Amino acid sequence: MTDTFAFAVGLRNTNGAGLVLDCLYPAPVMHPDGAAGAAAASLPAGVTAPSETQLQALLSAAPELVPMSLLAALEGCNSQHELIVIRLIADEDIGSTEEAYLKLHLLSHRLALPNTLNLNGIFAHLPNLAWTSAGPIEVSELPEALMNARSQGLNLEVFSIDKFPKMVNYVVPAGVRIADASRIRLGAYLGDGTTVMHEGFVNFNAAALGPNMVEGRISQGVIIGAGTDLGGSSSTQGTLSGGGEIVISIGEQCLVGANAGTGIPLGDRCTIEAGLYITAGTPVMVVDETGEEVQRVKARELSGQSDMLFIRDAKSGQVLCKTNRKAIELNDALHSHN
């Protein structure tokens, strides 16, 4: 483990009982160096509310760490919002809600790839909240908040009850299209040129490196490479959804067809036909160019290999694997975000 540290200045939002609801970090940094690194390292480790002297010193030494828009937002916030600075070792377990939010921001700001940050403790330190048109509300306070809104002639809309908010309320990466923002959790990594359609879903600590067309599910811990497409309602098996300790990744220029999926890692230029789900234990017949059987294996024995085409034999239903002679070429127009 290294001593790589992350640093951010942000807004902490608490309720009346002092519960930290969420944090916003508009300009987090990983392993800052130069003047920014020295300024960050001069502040205490952990989470602190900076004094006026500390804030002015930080603004003087490294103004890029304290966006003026953040200070302006603070002036318009209620008393439950306060300015904080946070410095943490990226390899240490998460010990607070503030730390959990910083690590999620680092992922969505493209400052860290999935599976490179220690996320142990994240569920324990993210409260389950009602995400509403008025921001996050502690669940037990929701009935009162709904009635208060009605008494003022307002409609308080509840979008979800969850530990994770949607990404775009905190981070909007450049060069992406998102058809339904509620399906991208904070902590998702979306690379430049990525399009996520309405049925697409990207969990926290998961990535589409871009450019990608995502119409399926990218589960926690899964990374898909450049030029790979996930067809409608396809899925990737993550460690939170029955994948155990297997970390699934899909290489470049792959296609997972509609209603298909994979529970094994794939290399580059692989295709899974529509409707076919490959799990680690799926019996697969490997065939040569003439269609003759070469061997029979469990799919896990093919993990990580490139140039594979998985199809189902129309007569027997047997899953076949043959060499994929045609790499998938994405339609450039689909990935243009100009």
Residues acting as catalytic residues: 215
Is the Cβ–Cβ distance between 320 and 314 less than 8 Å?
no
Q: DSSP string covering 46-73, please? A: EEE---HHHHHHHHHH-GGGS-HHHHHH
Is the Cβ–Cβ distance between 231 and 250 less than 8 Å?
no
Q: How many CB atoms are located within 10 Å of the residue 136 CB?
A: 18
Instruction: List 217's β-bridge partners, or say none.
Output: 201, 235
Tokens of 16: 């009346």
Please confirm whether the linkage preceding 136 is cis (ω < 30° from 0): no
Q: What is the C-alpha to C-alpha distance for residues 51 and 253, in angstroms, rounded to an integer?
A: 51
Q: How many CB atoms are located within 10 Å of the residue 156 CB?
A: 17
Q: What is the C-alpha to C-alpha distance for residues 28 and 66, in angstroms, rounded to an integer?
A: 9
Q: What is the C-alpha to C-alpha distance for residues 243 and 165, in angstroms, rounded to an integer?
A: 24
Helix (H) or strand (E) holding 9: strand 5-14
Q: What is the C-alpha to C-alpha distance for residues 222 and 240, in angstroms, rounded to an integer?
A: 11
Dihedral, 88, 90, 93, 98 alpha carbons, nearest 10: 50
Distance set, CA 280 to CA 26, 74, 92, 313 (Å):
40, 51, 32, 19
Q: Is 246 strand, coil or helix?
A: coil
